[in-house]
């Protein structure tokens, strides 16, 4: 039986995700950007909460852990770095498995935005929760890791099936699209950017995305093809990626 995903906006540009394994009725929350908003959504849905799955330690991802655990008694699962702001019940790392009823999540090391960042992949339903590693047409800033580490992380996500549904933690897509158009003039990107601008005009969400769509249009995954545009022609793939990332960090548009 499938996994149900309930998505809702919170804070200024985060998404919250509540998920339910339909076979068992077990539920989880992906990160805890806003405890009050998450508790409200749980009440509306009539769901209890069994588990929090954290992707990384940033306050807009783990800041609600303590309040939500106090109210629901749920277990908290995440990478070790989360303990710098709240205790964990179970520490996990790349290669581990987390079960929610009959749904099994593979934990994928996706460090780079933070050193210990992880993603969760349900291979049966082909659903991935990627936190701040991969965004629609973007990727997370390198607050703690190196371009090499982030490039390796992005390659692990790019290796998932093309039809994997990818839930990113922020609605950054329109600004990502403006940057992407500055380094890439592929027809696929132009089409997608036009759709994104139109969707945002209508206040529609651009998350989730898919691995296939990101591989075709995301300038960070396409970095080796765009190396010449960012002064990294002939450089290793991770260096080209680092140059695209640096260009985005300095982009005013």
Q: What residues pair up with 30 in beta bridges, in sequence order?
A: 17, 53
Q: Does 31 bind Zn ion (CB under 5 A)?
A: no
Residue pair 238/148 in contact (Cβ under 8 Å)? The answer is: yes
Q: How would you label 210-242 residue by residue, b for 16+ Cβ within 10 Å and e otherwise?
A: bbebbeebbbbbbbbebbebbebeebebbbbbb
Beta carbon of residue 116, minimum distance to Fe ion (angstroms, whole number)? 14
Contact pattern for Zn ion over residues 79 through 118, marking x by CB under 5 A? ----------------------------------------
Single out the residue of 132, 152, 171, 214 in contact with Zn ion (rule: CB under 5 A): 132
Q: Does 132 bind Fe ion (CB under 5 A)?
A: yes
Q: Does 50 bind Zn ion (CB under 5 A)?
A: no
123 contact partners, CB below 8 Å, separation of at least 6? 104, 106
Beta carbon of residue 167, minimum distance to Zn ion (angstroms, whole number)? 15
Nearer to Fe ion, 113 or 192 (CB): 113
Q: Does 58 bind Zn ion (CB under 5 A)?
A: yes
Beta carbon of residue 232, minimum distance to Fe ion (angstroms, whole number)? 27
The site for Fe ion, by CB under 5 A, has a size of 2
* Residues within the interface to Zn ion (CB under 5 A): 58, 132
């Amino acid at each position: 039986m499938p996994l149900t995903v309930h998505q809702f906006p919170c804070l200024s540009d985060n998404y919250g995700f509540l998920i339910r394994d339909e076979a068992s009725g077990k539920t989880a929350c992906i990160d805890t950007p806003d405890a009050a908003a998450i508790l409200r959504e749980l009440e509306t849905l009539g769901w209890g909460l069994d588990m929090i799955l954290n992707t990384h330690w940033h306050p807009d991802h783990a800041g609600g852990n303590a309040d939500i655990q106090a109210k629901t008694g749920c277990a908290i699962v995440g990478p070790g770095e989360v303990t710098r702001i709240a205790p964990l019940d179970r520490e996990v790392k790349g290669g581990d498995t987390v079960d929610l009823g009959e749904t099994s999540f593979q934990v994928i090391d996706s460090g780079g935005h933070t050193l210990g960042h992880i993603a969760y992949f349900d291979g049966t339903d082909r659903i991935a929760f990627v936190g701040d590693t991969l965004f629609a047409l973007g990727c997370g800033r390198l607050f703690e890791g190196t371009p090499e580490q982030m490039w390796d992380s992005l390659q692990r996500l790019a290796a998932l099936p093309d039809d994997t549904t990818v839930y990113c933690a922020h609605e950054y897509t329109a600004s990502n699209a403006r940057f992407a158009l500055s380094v890439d003039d592929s027809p696929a990107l132009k089409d997608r950017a036009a759709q994104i601008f139109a969707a945002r005009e209508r206040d529609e969400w651009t998350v989730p995305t898919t691995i296939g769509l990101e591989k075709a249009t995301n300038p960070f995954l396409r970095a080796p093809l765009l190396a010449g545009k960012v002064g990294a022609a002939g450089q290793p793939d991770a260096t080209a990626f680092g140059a695209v990332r640096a260009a985005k960090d300095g982009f005013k548009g």
